[in-house]
Amino acid sequence: MSEPYEPTTSAMSEPRLHLGCPSCGAQLVVEPALRTMRCPYCAAPSVVERPPVPGIPEPVFALGFALTHVAAREHVARWLKSRNPFTRSGIRSAEPGEVRGVYVPAYLYSVLAQTRFRASIGENYQEQETYTTTENGKTVTRTRTVTRTEWRSLGGELAGYVADVLVTASTGLRNDELEALEPFDLRGLARYTPALVSGWVAEEPSLTPAQCLAQARKEAEERVGERLGRFMPGDSHRELEHESRLEWEAVDMCLLPVWVLAVRYAEDAPPLRVLVNGQTGEVHGKAPLSVWKVTAAVLVVLLLVAVAWFLSQGGGR
Ligand SMILES: [Zn+2]
State residue 238's pLDDT score.
Answer: 92
How far does the centroid of ligand 1 lie from the alpha carbon of residue 272, in Å? 14
Looking at the chain, the whole-number percentage of residues with pLDDT higher than 90 is 48
* Residue 10 confidence (pLDDT): 43
Euclidean distance between CA atoms 239 and 225, whole angstroms: 12
What would you measure as the largest C-alpha separation in the chain, in angstroms? 98
CA of 253 to the centre of ligand 1 (A): 21
pTM for the full predicted model: 0.77
Question: Residue 23 — very low, low, confident or very high, per pLDDT cuts 50/70/90?
Answer: confident
Q: How far is CA 182 from the centre of its chain?
A: 7
pLDDT of 36: 72
Helix H segments across the chain?
69-81, 175-181, 209-231, 291-312
| Rounded distance from Cα 282 to ligand 1 centre (Å) | 22
Positive or negative: CA dihedral 272, 8, 181, 53: negative
At 315 the pLDDT is 59
| First-to-final CA distance of the chain | 69
Cα-to-centroid distance, 41 and ligand 1 (Å): 5
Distance 276 CA to ligand 1 centre (A): 17
For residue 17, how many other CB atoms are within 10 A of its CB? 17
Ligand 1: distance of its center to the CA of 28 in Å?
10
Using 50, 70 and 90 to split pLDDT, how confident is the model at 5? very low
Residue 238: count of CB within 10 angstroms of its CB:
11
**Residue among 240, 140, 170 at smallest CA distance from 24:** 170
Each residue of 264-286: pLDDT tens digit?
A: 888 888 888 899 999 999 999 88
Q: Is the predicted pLDDT of residue 169 greater than 50, yes or no?
A: yes
Strand partners, 113: 160, 246
Q: What is the pLDDT of residues 30-82, one digit of tens each?
A: 887 777 778 888 877 778 888 888 888 889 999 999 999 999 999 999 998 88
pLDDT tens digit sequence for 222-234: 999 999 999 899 9
- Which H helix or E strand runs over 250? strand 236-263
Average pLDDT of the residues of the chain: 87
Cα of 24 to ligand 1 centre, how many Å? 4
**What are residue 166's DSSP bridge partners?**
108
**Strands, E assignment, 72-192:** 99-135, 138-168, 190-191
Task: Find, among 73, 74, 47, 18, the residue nearest to 259 by Cα.
Answer: 73
Ligand 1 centre distance from Cα of residue 22 (Å): 7
pLDDT at 9 over 50: no
| Ligand 1 centroid to residue 143 C-alpha, Å | 69
Phi, psi (degrees; rounded to nearest 5) at 303: -65, -45
Q: Are 202 and 9 in contact (CB under 8 A)?
A: no
Q: How far is the CA of 77 from the centre of ligand 1 (A)?
A: 23
| Cα-to-centroid distance, 38 and ligand 1 (Å) | 8
Per-residue pLDDT, 14: 59
Residues 112-160 pLDDT 10s: 999 999 999 999 999 998 998 888 888 899 899 999 999 999 999 999 9
Return the pLDDT at 196: 84
CB 232 within 8 A of CB 118: no
Contact 266, 288 (CB under 8 A): no
